[in-house]
Amino acid sequence: MRDYVVYHRSESWQVPAHKDPHLEVVSRRIPAVGLIGSRVWLLVGSRRPRQYHLFMAFEASKVIRRSAQKYRNGILGQRGKWFDPPIRVDGMPWFQSLRRSAGNFAFGLTEVRDPLVQAGLTTYWR
């Protein structure tokens, strides 16, 4: 199974007051193939210096295109979960590799290809 990470800054992403049963993230870009059926992980950065937390993970089941919004693609899933409380990951041994491969999270939705990072994320999927 493929894994993707999408990053949002807490200043630009409003954390829902309740954990919406509809699992969705937004992104400016999506891959041409391979997203449906993959796991999508939402990583949120907050504070200065930045602290990074996993907020949710789900299996992508649908992509919705929204032409009039800043983030044109909604990625939806039905099977997944919110992490309550969110899981702080910036101290994990695999985090710096994820940060580097995602261009310090500037690339938008990014496929996770490093087996160490995949293994680290997958521990939270169970």
- How many angstroms separate the CA atoms of 105 and 108, rounded? 6
Strand partners, 60: 77
- How many angstroms separate the CA atoms of 90 and 102, rounded? 14
For the whole model, what pTM was predicted? 0.88
Residue 18 pLDDT > 60: no
Q: Which helix (H) or strand (E) holds 45?
A: strand 39-46
Q: Which pLDDT value is given to residue 69?
A: 63
Model confidence pLDDT, tens digit, residues 36-88: 999 999 999 988 899 999 999 999 999 888 766 666 788 999 899 999 999 99
Residue 3 pLDDT > 60: yes
